[in-house]
Each structure stands twice: as structure tokens, then as C-alpha cells.
Structure 1
Amino acid sequence: MESTRITAHWLRVLRIKRVFRSIQRVYYPLLAAVSVPVNLMTIAILSRGKCGLSTCVTRYLVAMAAADLMLVILDLMLRHIPIVYWQEFSFVQSFPVCKVHAALLFAATDCSVWFTVTFTFDRFVSICCLDFKIKYCTERTAAMVLWTVAALSCCKNVFWYFMLTGRYLLTNLPWFCGVAGSVRTSRVWAAVEFSHYILTPGIPFVLILLFNAFSVRHIVAASRARWRLRGQGRGACGQTTRDPEMENRRKSIILLLVISGNFILLWSLFIIYAVCYRISTLGLVTVDVNIFVEQIGFMLQLLSCCTNTGIYAVTQTKYRAEVKRAVKYPLDAIVRFVSR
């Protein structure tokens, strides 16, 4: 009776895996086809500096888009698509470059996550620390912070090169390279891996929530005070007057909260699965993580690589205008060419 129940359970798991594999065979190529041009367009539009954003903010948003583009290439196109099309890509297992790929991928992941943190901190300083804002919220400081984060991310992830093997597994695991059995079950490996997930994205989750909480509290308090000083926002005839400062604050906080919330939401399932999987591997506690959590976690994490463009389009009027101009330009060029 017990063996029958176990067999039924594993058959159900296999059916779920087949369903998700079928979905992913369409989802991942489609996501790649959208993410690459979308991130390239975002980088090009923001770099022109015509979206009404400060040069400091533009630096952070361009860096985030560039990191997302690297993740699309290293994670989605060179990792997950070969996994779901493993029969067609089985030849990659003969290439001993997986540990180099892993080190670059995890470095790009750290950059993507920590660029979001630095952007959140920059907005926190801009909103809550007016005296420090003049010195910190500059294009030069933004460039220095971003290059420092990128350098530290590369240094931090060098250890993957020495802990992994060069052989691809082509299986959906938090890591995707071969690992010696003695290494996988060692406490050193566990400590390194837990540290990796604590630093990315554990601590960033906490920092983003704290910075956003302080920023929102400050904006709400300042808005109430400004509202009272303006006579509850009404003119001499009782008409509501337009307050550009309040509108700018509202747009800034909407952009900040949506980007941060999107990041936390789309990364949560992946980090839950990765930590639970590691605990089970060590045999410390038996944690049964549903296959849905694993597969949806990977899919949502990769989706986060192309959602920021949609966020900009929804929250930034000038960005939408630049997107329309970028889309219309080749069409107008074709029309002019045909009409000659």
C-alpha cells in the first residue's frame, strides 16, 4: 500500500514536470525574444537623457537595464533554454566551461540585485537627507557606486569557479554545473551557498523594505505639511491649484515603490525554493518543496529581467513619448523610402 502511494506521488510529480517543461519550451524563447530588444531599447532611450529624469537616476536605471540584459543572455538564453531543450543542446555538456559561465552569471545576478538596492538608497537620500543629497546624488557618485558594486560582485563570485566543475548538468537546480558529492554535502559548501543567498537577495530584501518605508514616511509627513501651508490646496475661489512639487514627489515614490515591489515579488519564490533545497540536501531538516514552487520561482525570477521597461512606460510620461518616437522612426523611414 505504501509503495503504491509513493509510486502514485512520483508519477504525479513527473506529470507536473512534463506540463511545466511544455510551458517553458514556449515561455523561455518568447521571454528571450521580448527581453533582449526591450532592454536594448531601454538602455538607448534612457542614455539619451530626454525622459525628464536626473542624470543620477538615469545612471542607475541604465545600469539596471544593462544588468538585466546580461542576465537574459547568461541565465535565460545560455542556461534555461538549453535545459528545456536539453535533447537539442546536449552537446554543450562536452564543453568544460560551466564554472566560468556560473561565475559570470552569479556576478551579473549580484549586479542586478544590488543596483536595485543602490538606486533605492539614492532615492532615500534624495527624499530624506536633504543636506547629504547635494554631495551624494550626483552623476559622479552614481558612477562610482555602480562600478564599485560591479567590482565587488565579480570578486565575490570567483569562488564558484573553484567549487564547481566545468561540466553542465542541464537540470533545473539553483546551480547548473557538476558538483563533487563530497563538496555538495560539506559544511563549507553549505556555508558558502547560504552566504550567497543571504547577500543576494536576502539582505537586499531587508534594505529595500527599510529604505522604502523611511522614504514613504518622510514623503507622507512632508506632503501633509505642504498641504496645510497651501491652504489645503485651494485657491482664492475654492479651486484646487496644481502643485508641481507634489506631483514630482508622487511620481518619484510610485516609480521607486513599483520597481522595488516588483523585484521582491518576482524573486521571493526562487529564494524560498533555493534555501529549502539546500536544507534538504544537507539532511538538516526534511523540507518538501512543491515542484510548483521550483518551476514558477525560476520563471518569475527571469521575468523580472524585462518588467522594468513596462514600469517606466506606465509611470513616466516622457519615457512613453520616447518609446513611441523610437517605434515610429523606422516606420516613417520606410514610408519615406516607399513614397520616393
Structure 2
Amino acid sequence: MDWATEYPFPEGNSSMVFNKSIDNINQILATSFNMAPEHALEAEEYGCFTANCSPSEYVEFVLGPQTLPLYKAILITIIFGAVFITGVIGNLLVCIVIIRHSTMHTATNYYLFSLAVSDLLYLLFGLPTEIFLYWHQYPFLFGLTFCKIRAFISEACTYVSVFTIVAFSMERFLAICYPLYLYAMVGFKRAMRIITALWIISFLSAIPFGLLTDIQYLIYPLDNAPIAESAFCSMSPEVPNIIPIFELSFCVFFVIPMIIIILLYGRMGAKIRSRATLKLGVRHGTINQEARNSQKKKKTVIRMLAAVVVTFFVCWFPFHIQRLWYLYAKNIENFQDINEWLFSIAGFAYYVSCTINPIVYSVMSRRYRVAFKELLCGKPVGAYYNSGFARDCSSFREPTTATTNKRGYDRVQSVHVRSSHYDNANETASMSSNRVLIKKTYSLPLPK
């Protein structure tokens, strides 16, 4: 069993590299000093009677071997290395695609950009060190400053991800259920203000983890001196008993957001289903195909965002449950076996959560698939416009109340590409038809 399965108080998840339970220390100390001669065989079960152990032997007895077995270290390195490479490349592609394509400069994509940046920080600060610690479990070699920064960044990026998912879920909820209210707000500026605020709140909320994380040492029982070679980066085990830090994290950054998002997507799903039963518009005596396409695209967006939310919570649920299991389930039968399984699942899902989002975008969004292909194949921006990329993207342009000529021009210009299938040049040249076309630039149907 990994040491951290019994002591999950690290910065990030670095404690998974330590073997054996820190809870055994008190039992070991009692055995070392209070062992009666007739219980000598009982001492042998611990494998190290303190009076006969050097400090290095005592550290290995408590924390396990300094290096994991070679086959385990190689296997973990391959798995986590694949997660790291996939996550970094995928999130970088998302960021580059959103930056390069002006048609993707929407409030929703700004939230996804924020999510990709937080995932990148999470991977870069956490996973390389995690892999190294499987090859060199102790002592911790990166110093107190890096220990605290890593704890702080890991927790802060987690909170950013939660808040971002809640924010763009609310954005889609307003777009589907209260379009007039959304139209009355300036989309881009509002999104930027919200994203800035959630990053600030997340970093402020993570400060306690950075302050309370420190370099910890085992104490050698014979002289009560810390053993330098046992250094590891972790939160003190007394902290969760004094401050309900993990309970608060679970409630504020998992339970409450999950309830909010379930309610939002439930309302959105009901709204879309109710609209699907109605005629979306009539043109020349037939059902308006444009309206049908718009409704279909909205359903695709909802499925993509819902998939992001589901995968996020599936990835993070084991992490929070394992923390609470350690705190409250120690007296349950088979505690250690269950904890070990929970910890293994949580440790893997902990980093996979940063990798899965770009995959979800690619699978469920045609816009992202086309943009990824354009970027990877080296074609210039706009090379796919003739294949329908511009028409697809223009249907998702965020509605705004900007009154500048530039914004008005953008809205008319973007719809000319779409309207070319339905209107001739004379129709689109008239002011009245332009007003109709401007209505079509909205990604949502106008209220009846």
C-alpha cells in the first residue's frame, strides 16, 4: 500500500509516492519503548525494533523503499507520460485555435480557454514532479518554496476549473432559457469580467493550502531529532483535525457546483425538448431549414458542454471521496483495501481530468474538429471557409448590444456567407433584407 493512501495531505497529490501508513508511527513508537521482553516476537512483526535500527533503516521501515520497483516505476512513467503529453498538446491546441479564429471569440469559448489554461498550469506544475517522485520518493529535493507553490497552484487550478464550468453552464442556460436577458448584456466584456473574478477568487481560496503545506520530517525516536533524509512535502496531519479544510473544499467546490449544474442542464434540456415539438418557422410554405439547423447546433453545444461537466465530476469525485474516506472511515472493516483502491483511482483521474476536455471538444464539436485539422495540417486561417466552416461558426456568434459601426458590420458581413444559399444579390442589398439577415446572426431564435 502506498503511504499516501493512509495520509492524503499533500500539496497536489504528491503523497501517493510514499509507502506505508503514517498512522503506524505511533504504534511503532509504542512498540519501540514499551515492549516487554516476552513480546519480542511481536516486535519482529514490525521488521524494525527501533533500538536496533539506524535512522535510514527507520525511514525505510516507515516510508517504504526510496525507489519503487523498477517495473512499477516504468509502468507509471509511461501512463503518466502519455497523460502529460496528451494533456499539454490538447490544451495548447484549444488555446491556439480560439486565439487564431476570430469566429470563435465568443463568451463560451472564452470560458473554455480559461479552462484549458488552468489545465495546462495544473499539468505543468504537478505531473512532472509526480513522475519524478515515483523514482525518488524521499527526501523531497525541490525545496520549501516549490513545495508551497505546487500546493497552491494545484488547488487554485482545481477551483478555477470548477468555477469555469459553472460560469459557462450559466452562460448557456441564459442563452437557451432567457435569450432577451442575454441580448441585453455585453457578452465579451461580461465574460472577461467573470473569468477575471473567478481566477482571483480561486487563488485567494487556495492560499490556506499553500500556507499550511510544509516540508515534513520523521522523528527518530531515540533522540527525538528530525531525520533529514525523510523530508517530504505535505500538510501536517493535525491540520484537518483542527480546520475542516477538506470538508469545506468538498462542499463548496464539488457538491454545490454539481447541484447547480444539474439544475441548469435539466432546465436547458426541458426547454430544448419543448421547442423541438413546435414549428421553428415557415419560409415559402415549408419548415424553415435555417431554424432547424440552428436548433440542431444548439443541441450539439449543449451535449458538448454537458459532456465536459460530466467528465469533470467523474474525474474529481474519487479525489474528494478518498479524502473524506481517510478522515471518517478508519474504523470500517477493510478500510485499508478500499482506501488503496480509491487512492489509485483518484490519483489517475486527478490528472486525466486535465486531458479529457480537448478530446471532448474534438469528438463533439465540428467547429473544433475543423479548426484542429486546419492547425495541424498547416493550412492558413480561413482555408475552410468555402467548406462551410464560416457558416458553422457564424451561427454561434455571441449576441451583443454594441452600437459601433464595426460590430454592426461584423454581424451583417458574417451572415452574408450564410444567406447566400437563400437570398439573391438584390435581396441582400436592400435595407429591409439586411434587418432580416441581422436577426439570423444570433445563435438563438428571437422570442416570439
Q: Structures share a fold, TM > 0.5? A: yes
What's the counterpart of residue 107 of structure 1? Answer: 156
Provide the residue aligned with 2:112 in structure 1.
Answer: 61
Per-residue Cα deviation, 1:245-296 (whole angstroms, up to 9, x for no partner)? 2222221211122111111222222222121112246x79995534222111
Given the alignment of the two structures, is residue 41 of structure 1 paired with residue 93 of structure 2, yes or no? yes
Q: Following the alignment from structure 2 to structure 1, what is the Cα–Cα distance between the partners of residues 94 and 377?
A: 16
How many Å separate the matches in 1 of 2:95 and 2:250? 28
Per-residue CA distance 1:170-228 (angstroms, 9 max, x = gap): xxxxxx833334435x2x33x1221022222222222221111111111111211236x
The counterpart of 2:308, out of the listed 250, 253, 259, is 259
Larger Rg: 2
Which AA in structure 2 matches 1:178?
S
Cα distance in 1, alignment partners of residues 268 and 217 from structure 2 = 44
Aligned pairs (5 A) from 1:237-252: 243-252=292-301
Give the equivalent residue in structure 1 for 2:263: 210
8 Å contact kept, 1:111–1:153: yes
In structure 2, the gaps of 5 or more residues are: 1-41, 47-63, 219-231, 380-448
Task: Tell me if the contact between 1:126 and 1:137 (Cα under 8 Å) persists in the aligned partners.
Answer: no
Aligned to 2:132: 82
Following TM superposition, by how much is the alpha carbon of 1:22 offset from its aligned partner in structure 2, in angstroms?
Answer: 5.4
Question: Which TM-score applies when normalising by structure 1?
Answer: 0.77
Percentage identity across paired residues of the two chains: 19
Structure with bigger helix share is 1
**How far apart, in 1, do the equivalents of 2:210 and 2:270 lie?**
43
Deviations 1:135-187 (A, max 9, x none): 34701111101110110111111112332214599xxxxxx833334435x2x
Structure 1's 138 and 27: CA in aligned 2 closer, same or farther, altered over 3 A? Answer: same
| d(CA) in 2 for partners of 1:20, 1:210 | 43
2:372 maps to which residue?
Answer: 323
SS at match of 1:152: helix
**How many residues get paired?**
299
Query: Residues of 1 paired with 2:125 and 2:246: CA distance?
Result: 20
- Distance in 1, Cα, partners of 2:126 & 2:120: 10
Amino acid at match of 1:70: L
Q: TM-score, normalised by structure 2?
A: 0.60
- How far apart are the structure 2 equivalents of 1:54 and 1:222? 27
CA distance in 2, matches of 1:259, 1:91: 38
Mark the CA change 1:286 to 1:182 in structure 2 (over 3 Å): closer, same or farther. Answer: farther
1-structure distance, mates of 2:125, 2:142: 18
CA–CA distance in structure 1, aligned partners of residues 184 and 308 of structure 2: 25
Instruction: Write the mapping of 1:123-134 to structure 2, written as runs, cut at 5 A.
Output: 123-134=172-183
Q: 2:80 aligns to what?
A: 28
Corresponding residue for residue 338 of structure 1: none
Decide whether aligned partners of structure 1 residues 250 and 327 sit closer, same or farther in structure 2, where only a CA change above 3 A counts.
same
The aligned counterpart of 2:225 is none
Partners in 2 of 1:168 and 1:258 — Cα distance? Answer: 43
Taking the aligned partners of 2:74 and 2:320, their CA distance within structure 1 comes to: 24
Matches within 5 A, 1:161-240: 161-167=210-216, 177-184=233-240, 186=241, 188-189=242-243, 191-226=244-279
Out of 343, 349, 368, the residue aligned to residue 300 of structure 1 is 349
Residue 118 of structure 2 aligns to which amino acid in structure 1? A
The residue that corresponds to 2:208 in the other structure is: 159
Q: Give the SS at the match of 1:226.
A: coil
Give the deviation of 1:21 after TM superposition.
5.6
Note the C-alpha offset of 1:303. 0.8
Question: Is contact 1:279-1:285 (8 Å) kept?
Answer: no
The Cα offsets for residues 103-158 of structure 1, whole Å up to 9 and x where unpaired, read as 12211111112111111111111111122211347011111011101101111111
Which blocks of at least 5 consecutive residues in structure 1 are unaligned?
8-13, 170-175, 331-340
